[in-house]
Chains A and B, each alone.
Chain A
């Protein structure tokens, strides 16, 4: 089943889906595996696995440090892909890869995407790859039936939203606000209008991320988008309360 079909079928049973995020290898590979296990146990519907990069320009301080820590403790792209393969085999939810374009580019786009497919991943989010630069990536993703997930932001024009929708697959990742990951988001009237523009521009499901951190945020998004994305907050919970507390936190989100 491809990602769009999977999301549609899950949405039959649930009002809103939940996507969480980890940085692979942070704080170490064993804990990364425990995190995935407890998140799946807590009922998340999709997960983003971030391959660390030395220059993560779209990420805020929490995820940035997680990237650095992971690299310092010896993460390599090969180990991260092997990790993706392991969790895809063991757990029955779709896993998406998130990383910056250089990680794909350095290995060769086509060969990297083939490795993703071989690992059983469902799609990818590459925040510094705009559709204008993505021809080779789109070709490889299409050939492997993987979902190329693209991003809308509040200042994306309606015309551009339509163009992005033409390239995108799986779902659209709507960024809730300006800024980097992990900062506060105010869900305002202006915000609702933005979501209406997103909805009008594409038939793909909508995910909403950046600043979604608790049950009240997820409740607010119910009925407005298909997927709530909780990223930085789970890392904070893990750092402050330990890996063991993540499952309870995720269960409490919905």
Chain B
């Protein structure tokens, strides 16, 4: 009897979007009807095999899917341990795995008959991806972006605006990603009749964590097939960086039932012994909380006020984390590590010089941990790193970090030419 009761309770928690004790839906009453509609549309799409094949074919013709799995021959030789493979999500249209999620949600928006989309963005990748989707589907588009991020990611703002999106700099709070999320919610509670909020990661109220993970699971499905074709076996370990958690959820999703070790790598910033990082699951700096509509580990003070975070990679600079990943930490299914800014730049440089690949600074976090562990494994071992995005977007940050004198001279000359012209 108890077993039946426990199973029923577990099923009920799952229905409400809980993964263990994490997740749920903590939303203002005004949004309840909107979430009911989204949940119904999402569930219908999941049950409709035609939906997933339409999604796959759209991603094939619009975004280079399936993305390749690249054997990193030189890095493998360099470390002399495990064979290193790299999943190339950077080859998606707009240069990151973000495209998977936005195109999936774009199809759902069409099913719901809405004609406007809004989104938050940190580094700008999700904003650019959403703007392309809106252009393709013919939706109006507004992107919320913290003022600090607008300043440090101008090229992405430029593209969003060129693509026809309205970009609103958020001047409230700490003026970064979490504040952009709050502002997008404020728009949504006013305009939900014709507007869908394209949340960019596997966080937020139910069904976003589950739904975004589902669209991103295309990464893990492809990788599993590719790695078996090429190596005849499953990988020993898989590495993915963790901001909100969507690329990790997508990659790990293909291997949850396999005997494969899954490693998520967070932003260690200036070090876990400082407060300047964004490590929620690899450090003990976070605690359980409820904000932005869901329950998970947050970097917060003893009163429950959110703390400031730091990372060289804007896309990992976030106070919360996917409730599904929080659950995977609890059960031990995923191991979490952190990489510091300095380690990230080193791994980034090595990858450029050895393989000619340019990973995003976000993705470079996963490379750091893989490089630490590869030498300790044998040639029989296979590891996969998810290169979730491409790094050329980071040209300003990278040039600053390496204090590149020629780049600085170029910017100075460019500025002068505007002043005189």
- Interface of B, secondary structure class, is mixed
Partner of A178, one of B30, B292, B293, B298: B30
Q: What are 13 residue pairs bridging A and B, where the CB atoms are less than 8 Å apart in the complex?
A: A55-B182, A57-B185, A58-B189, A71-B305, A101-B290, A106-B289, A130-B27, A130-B29, A153-B32, A157-B33, A178-B189, A179-B30, A183-B190
- Interface status of B55 (Cβ within 8 A of chain A): no
- Interface status of B356 (Cβ within 8 A of chain A): no
Per-residue 0/1 for B283-304: is the Cβ within 8 Å of any A Cβ (1 yes, 0 no)? 0000111111100001010111
Number of B residues near A (Cβ < 8 Å) is: 35
Contacts A54-B173, A105-B290, A130-B26: A160 and B32 contacting too (C-beta < 8 A)? yes
A180 touches B190 (CB 8 A): yes
Contacts A130-B25, A133-B26: A106 and B302 contacting too (C-beta < 8 A)? yes
- Interface status of B350 (Cβ within 8 A of chain A): no
Partner of B178, one of A55, A60, A64: A55
Q: How many inter-chain residue pairs (CB < 8 Å) link A and B? A: 105
CA distance A53 to B291 in the complex (A): 10
Contacts A155-B30, A178-B192: A128 and B293 contacting too (C-beta < 8 A)? yes
Range of interface residues on A (Cβ < 8 Å): 35 or more
Per-residue 0/1 for A155-182: is the Cβ within 8 Å of any B Cβ (1 yes, 0 no)? 1110010001000000000010011100
CA distance A183 to B190 in the complex (A): 10
B286 to chain A minimum Cβ distance, whole angstroms, is 12
Give the chain A neighbours of B300 by CB distance below 8 A. Answer: 102, 106
A183 to chain B minimum Cβ distance, whole angstroms, is 8
The closest CB in chain B to the CB of A127 belongs to B28
The closest CB in chain B to the CB of A106 belongs to B304
Give the chain A neighbours of B191 by CB distance below 8 A. Answer: 178
Partner of B306, one of A54, A57, A77, A127: A54
CA distance A77 to B182 in the complex (A): 22
Contacts A57-B182, A61-B172, A64-B172: A132 and B16 contacting too (C-beta < 8 A)? yes
Interface residues in B183-198 (C-beta closer than 8 Å to A):
185-186, 189-192
CA distance A57 to B30 in the complex (A): 12
- Interface status of B24 (Cβ within 8 A of chain A): yes
Interface residues in A112-165 (C-beta closer than 8 Å to B):
127-130, 132-133, 150-153, 155-157, 160, 164
CA distance A153 to B298 in the complex (A): 29
A156 touches B29 (CB 8 A): yes
Partner of A102, one of B16, B182, B189, B291: B291
Per-residue 0/1 for A213-229: is the Cβ within 8 Å of any B Cβ (1 yes, 0 no)? 00000000000000000
The closest CB in chain A to the CB of B172 belongs to A64
B243 to chain A minimum Cβ distance, whole angstroms, is 17
Partner of A77, one of B32, B33, B288, B303: B303
Give the chain B neighbours of A54 by CB distance below 8 A. Answer: 173, 305-306
B45 to chain A minimum Cβ distance, whole angstroms, is 23
Partner of A175, one of B25, B27, B29: B29
Give the chain B neighbours of A156 by CB distance below 8 A. Answer: 29, 32-33
Partner of B304, one of A68, A103, A133, A175: A103
A58 touches B304 (CB 8 A): no
